[in-house]
Structure 1
Amino acid sequence: MSRFRRCRQPGCHAMVQFPNHYCTKHFEHEAEYLANRQRWARAHSKQYQRKYNNVTRYRNNTKSKQYQFYKTRTWSVLRQQVLDRDHYVCQYCGQPNSRTVDHVVPIEYDEQRMASIDNLATICRQCHRMKTQWEQAYYGTGQGNHRKEVPELHDVKEIARQMKNDGRFRNGLKDF
């Protein structure tokens, strides 16, 4: 089925089939528009990439070391072992075909368990997002937070229960 959008010419309400941006009446503007988009993308791509790598992702030596771990062969082997062990099923909500592997106790909290298979679990994207928010509240991890001295939770079901009982995550997790 074809997708359509409005012509980008101000005041024109004609519908245009993707991937075009202008109707036949205003098609002479199409090449100029595409050239401007490409010029802008070339000029800004390095700026955004630099900001992501240097400011967000590698904001200090500790974070840089943590993210370098994810590029090693050790991580890729561990990740595949965990996915095989868990049969690609999210250990938090039970969703099949989950391909993300997460540290049960975050690396920021206990760096010694970074390469421990016992500290890894398969998790779906939605649960991973909610767990990251939960970790920031519980452990105090994440940018701008201060680490809290709380007991480490190693049981996935207990973490899922606490995430479910927390008011922010009630609608996200299924019942066990």
Structure 2
Amino acid sequence: MPKVRRCRHPNCHTIVEQPDHYCQLHHEYEAEYLASRERWARSHDKQYTHHYNTVTRNRTNDKRMQYNFYRTKQWSRLRQIVLERDHYLCAYCQVQGKLTPAKTVDHIVPIEFSPNDKANVANLAIICGRCHRFKTDWEQSYYGTGQGNRMQPVGAIRDIQAVAVLMNGVKHDER
């Protein structure tokens, strides 16, 4: 039996055999779709990855060392300790009374702002993807972290509840 899939055209539920992506009724979109996939593949080739790694991710020696820290056994052990300690639940959602499963371990005070706390278990918490986006936005405005920003002369906030309130304030004000 041949492999099949649904037609990619919106609201069309016709089944087509692979490698086709569109049914006979919408077959004129096939060439355009394949061309767009090819354009995307070309833009995400080795050169794109190389540019991202050398210009964005490893833009300075500090950023390179920070990225390399996440590839060490020490980080793997710390991450596992925190995941088990917090039962794979987002600490920032828990402050708001929600239970959200998560697997990302985040520094409460970012490494860029406080490099000495990068291996401190008390500075680590589990965070879900949604909270991580909001927290990153808040960190960039409060601490001045991120590419193109300048570090701010502010005090470190180590309390998850305070960070959750502040990052949700930024979320509601800016979005």
**TM band (smaller chain):** 0.7 to 0.9
Query: Which position in structure 1 is the counterpart of 2:102?
Result: 98
1:57 matched to 2:69? The reply is no
Query: Which position in structure 1 is the counterpart of 2:72?
Result: 72
Alpha-carbon spacing, 1:21–1:69, altered in 2? closer, same or farther (3 Å): same
Q: Percent identity?
A: 51
Distance in 2 (CA, whole Å) between partners of 1:68 and 1:156 is 26
Distance in 2 (CA, whole Å) between partners of 1:106 and 1:36 is 38
Matches within 5 A, 1:22-41: 23=23, 41=41
Number of matched residues? 162
Distance in 2 (CA, whole Å) between partners of 1:116 and 1:128 is 19
Task: Give 1:149 shift.
Answer: 0.7
Matches within 5 A, 1:154-169: 154-164=158-168, 166=169, 168-169=170-171
Matches within 5 A, 1:1-176: 2-6=5-9, 17=15, 19=18, 20-21=20-21, 23=23, 41=41, 45-94=45-94, 95-164=99-168, 166=169, 168-170=170-172
Distance in 2 (CA, whole Å) between partners of 1:40 and 1:138 is 35
Amino acid of the structure 1 residue aligned with 2:171 = F
Is the contact made by 1:15 and 1:23 (CA closer than 8 Å) also made in structure 2? no
SS of residue paired to 1:5:
coil
Distance in 1 (CA, whole Å) between partners of 2:146 and 2:124 is 19
Task: Give 1:52 shift.
Answer: 1.2
Distance in 1 (CA, whole Å) between partners of 2:125 and 2:64 is 23
Distance in 2 (CA, whole Å) between partners of 1:62 and 1:113 is 14
Alpha-carbon spacing, 1:68–1:21, altered in 2? closer, same or farther (3 Å): same
Stretches of structure 2 lacking an aligned partner (at least 5 in a row): none
- Cα deviation, 1:137-168, whole Å, max 9, x if unaligned, reads 0001100100001011000001001122x2x4
Computed over aligned residues only, the root mean square deviation of the Cα atoms, in angstroms, reads 3.1
Alpha-carbon spacing, 1:46–1:91, altered in 2? closer, same or farther (3 Å): same
- Cα deviation, 1:88-146, whole Å, max 9, x if unaligned, reads 11110123321010000000001000111011001111001100000000001100100
Task: Give 1:170 shift.
Answer: 2.9
TM-score w.r.t. length of structure 2: 0.78
Is the contact made by 2:88 and 2:101 (CA closer than 8 Å) also made in structure 1? yes
Alpha-carbon spacing, 1:163–1:39, altered in 2? closer, same or farther (3 Å): closer
Task: Give 1:5 shift.
Answer: 2.2
Query: Which position in structure 2 is the counterpart of 1:9?
Result: none
Alpha-carbon spacing, 1:119–1:134, altered in 2? closer, same or farther (3 Å): same
Distance in 1 (CA, whole Å) between partners of 2:159 and 2:58 is 29
Stretches of structure 1 lacking an aligned partner (at least 5 in a row): 7-13, 172-176
SS of residue paired to 2:8:
strand
Task: Give 1:2 shift.
Answer: 5.0
